[in-house]
Amino acid sequence: STMTRVNVTVDGVLCSDDVEPRMLLVHYLREVVGKVGTVVGCDTSNCGACTVHVAGKAMRSCVVPVKAVAGDAVRTIEGLGGGHPVQQAWLEEQVPQCGYCQTGQIMQAVALLEATPRPTAGQIREGMNGVLCRCGTYPRIEAAVRRAADALAAKAEG
């Protein structure tokens, strides 16, 4: 089949690859770029495990063809670098149980806090709504988002 060339910036690195025209972003990230921190949960846009950022917005990478984000900047969990305040808060609140959905949870939380640095409890619930966790870690997720918001605010104040 005909391959198509895409240029995408992934975690700050410009990637230029020939891909199947219908290749999904999640498969591109995992199989072509090697960003295996992004996972597939449901493959049908229902769970949010595959969430990454495209041009700063949280997006489900299992439903977006990589072609559709050509020219955009994509950020994955690897792009957070491990020491991001949201990742730190996740560790401090011991959020993960099985851990599978947590990439998506963290990417959703980072996007939420970038848009709404001081979210209310309601805004956290609304902002994290629809990123599913079968282990039911939701209370710890909320606590971690609150903790991360405090940490980011403290950092911003110096």
Residue 136, amino acid: G
Q: Which of 8, 49, 74, 144 binds ligand FES (CB under 6 A)?
A: 49
Residue whose beta carbon is closest to ligand FES: 62
What stretch of H or E contains 107? Answer: helix 102-115
Binding mask 57-76 for ligand FES (x = CB under 6 A): ---x-x--------------
Q: What's the rounded Cα separation, in Å, for the pair 116 and 143?
A: 16
Q: Can you tell me which of 18, 31, 43, 126 binds ligand FES, judged by CB under 6 A? A: 43
Q: Does 53 engage in binding with ligand FES (CB under 6 A)?
A: no
Residue 9: φ, ψ to 5°: -90, 120
47 binds ligand FES (CB under 6 A): yes
Give the C-alpha distances (Å, rounded to integers) separating 106 from 5, 12, 142: 30, 19, 11
Write out the residues near ligand FES by the rule CB under 6 A: 40-43, 45-50, 60, 62
